[in-house]
Amino acid sequence: MSSFALGDAAGQPTDLVCFAHLHWDFVWQRPQHLLSRFAQVGRVFYVEEPFVHPNGIAPHIEVKERQNGVLVVVPHLPPHLNFATSELVQEALLTHFFAEQNIIHYAFWYYTPMALGKTRSFRPLLTVYDCMDELANFKFAPPELKPREQELFGKADLVFTGGHTLYEAKRQQHADAHPFPSSIDKAHFGQARDPQLAEPADQAGIPHPRIGFFGVVDERLDIALLGQLATNHPQWQFVIIGPVVKIDAADLPQNANIHYLGGKDYQELPAYLKGWDVATLLFADNESTKFISPTKTPEYLAAGNPVVSTPIRDVVRPYGDLNLVQIAATAPDFGAAIARALTQREDADWQRRRDAYLATISWDDTWNQMRTLMHERLAAKATKTTIPLPVAALSATLPAAAALARQPVLAEANG
């Protein structure tokens, strides 16, 4: 039995089933850090949003094995299903999949309340809502998201938040909420301090000083600020790493000293960070950034880079307050902060304080604290929770959807 699995009153192992709005293979961030650690001690199923085919196809589930044995579960659907039917078909597919995989004693872990539409008939032993962002404030958020989040608060045994600002909002809505701000894999990003680490070919020819940013390039990036900085400081080279989503790439500033290098694999990031002189958090002041706690803040610091950020609350507290990160709101102030940061790398006092703070956080610690809370809640429920019905029995409640997906194909893939 895995060390995660308290299970039910009979001591059965507990699988962890996660429902996410983010593709596992998109950008390595909070879900991957945490769930790859859970997978070291028990089975983890990461259920993505469905892939809708343009042509006719039988509904089926694809399974891809990833880091530490995480099983990424992808529903495949035919086109032209309305929203309600799509959810019913996914529920039937998951019911069939749970029976095939013998997923009987399980905990649910939600990143998106929208997944409630395909999971209401299931009976997890424990329900966790890891609220990493205020998704309702993001571009193209579905109108159902807010009411479904309220429904999820009613079902959740535990609520974790991606930062303190988000915690302050969510603790008013759930009695068992806990803040878990962005953490760090110090060993991974510490590779950037290795003088022997090779320079990536697409960055090697860019002159210094280099001012860098990595992350998803979307409505959270202050493209006006980026353009102003590049115009005001033509002697600096701005390196932007990350996929462009939800915004038109044609709207990005095209100054000659801005270099868009596209998305990079998580394993490649330390080599890029090593070649920067200053790292930045170029976030806009809008609804989508009100509650964010950027994971890249400690990652930049672990790589040894001085950091300048716009006044994001979860960066100001604690990094700005501790004088580890410089905070600036306007283009002139941001430029002045970058100029100061260019002299900061060799500041022994800053180095000491930076590394002392980083020694207090890690994804391992975050995961262990979360797991402890889950164990405690499972133990408290074990004596009063009946063993859930085998999932196969749930199919009787889904006759219409089960007919649409009576014989789903289980596609195994390692690619």
At residue 346, does pLDDT exceed 50?
Answer: yes
pLDDT in tens, 290-339: 888 899 999 999 999 999 999 999 999 999 999 999 999 999 999 999 99
Domain that holds residue 337: 186-358
Does residue 219 belong to any structural domain of this protein? yes
Judged by average pLDDT, the poorest of 7-11, 104-108, 272-276 is: 7-11
Q: State what percent of residues in the chain have pLDDT above 70.
A: 87
Residue 369 and residue 329 share a domain:
no
The burial of 144, by beta-carbon neighbours within 10 Å (0-12 exposed, 13-18 middle, 19 or more buried), is given as middle
Does residue 381 belong to any structural domain of this protein? yes
pLDDT in tens, 350-379: 999 999 999 999 999 999 999 999 999 999
Residue 91 and residue 136 share a domain:
yes
Residue 205 and residue 82 share a domain:
no
- pLDDT higher for 196 or 14? 196
Crossing angle of helices 223-232/331-341, nearest 10°? 60
- pLDDT higher for 266 or 411? 266
Average pLDDT value for residue range 245-257: 94
Q: What is the pLDDT of residue 36?
A: 96
| 131 beta partners | 161
At residue 67, does pLDDT exceed 90?
Answer: yes
At residue 3, does pLDDT exceed 60?
Answer: no
Q: What is the pLDDT of residue 10?
A: 42
CA-to-CA separations, 308 to 57, 193, 301, 305, 378, in angstroms, rounded: 49, 19, 11, 10, 42
Q: For residue 214, report the phi and psi dihedrals to the nearest 5 degrees.
A: -130, 150
Which of 343, 358, 373 is the endpoint of a domain?
Answer: 358
Does residue 96 belong to any structural domain of this protein? yes
Does residue 308 belong to any structural domain of this protein? yes
Q: What is the pLDDT of residue 133?
A: 75
Does residue 321 belong to any structural domain of this protein? yes
Residue 222 and residue 244 share a domain:
yes
Supply the CATH number for residue 100's domain: 3.40.50.2000
pLDDT in tens, 111-145: 999 999 999 999 999 999 999 877 656 666 677 88
* Number of domain units in the chain: 2
Q: State what percent of residues in the chain have pLDDT above 90.
A: 76
At residue 169, does pLDDT exceed 80?
Answer: yes
User: What is the number of other CB atoms lying within 10 angstroms of the CB of residue 183?
Assistant: 21
Which of 334, 358, 382 is the endpoint of a domain?
Answer: 358
Residue 247 and residue 129 share a domain:
no
Residue 149 and residue 203 share a domain:
no
- The rounded distance, in Å, linking the Cα atoms of 408 and 96 is 8
Which of 330, 358, 386 is the endpoint of a domain?
Answer: 358
- As given in the structure block, the two tokens for residue 264 are 């990079």
Residue 388 and residue 320 share a domain:
no
At residue 405, does pLDDT exceed 60?
Answer: no
The pTM for the full model equals: 0.83
- The rounded distance, in Å, linking the Cα atoms of 118 and 101 is 18
Q: What is the pLDDT of residue 281?
A: 98
Q: Are residues 34 and 8 in contact, defined by beta-carbon separation less than 8 angstroms?
A: no
Instruction: Quickly state the pLDDT bin for 156 (edges 50, 70, 90).
Output: very high
Q: What is the DSSP string of 1-29?
A: --SS---STT----EEEEE-SS-TTT---
Residue 40 and residue 85 share a domain:
yes
DSSP H or E run through 86? helix 83-101
Residue 112 and residue 39 share a domain:
yes
Does residue 208 belong to any structural domain of this protein? yes
Q: What is the pLDDT of residue 165?
A: 86
Instruction: Quickly state the pLDDT bin for 16 (edges 50, 70, 90).
Output: very high
Return the closest-CA partner of residue 154 out of 135, 124, 130, 175. Answer: 175
Residue 337 and residue 211 share a domain:
yes
Does residue 380 belong to any structural domain of this protein? yes
Q: What is the DSSP string of 88-138?
A: HHHHHHHHHHHHHHT--SEEEEES-GGGGGGTTT---SEEEEEE-S-GGGS
- As given in the structure block, the two tokens for residue 123 are 């009976």
Q: What is the pLDDT of residue 311?
A: 97
Average pLDDT value for residue range 188-209: 97
At residue 97, does pLDDT exceed 80?
Answer: yes
Does residue 1 belong to any structural domain of this protein? no
Residue 168 and residue 275 share a domain:
no
Q: What is the DSSP string of 308-360?
A: EE---HHHIIIIITTTSSEE--SHHHHHHHHHHHTTTTT-HHHHHHHHHHHTT
pLDDT in tens, 216-240: 999 999 999 999 999 999 999 999 9
Residue 267 and residue 201 share a domain:
yes
What is the three-class DSSP state of 34?
A: helix
Q: For residue 403, report the phi and psi dihedrals to the nearest 5 degrees.
A: -65, -35
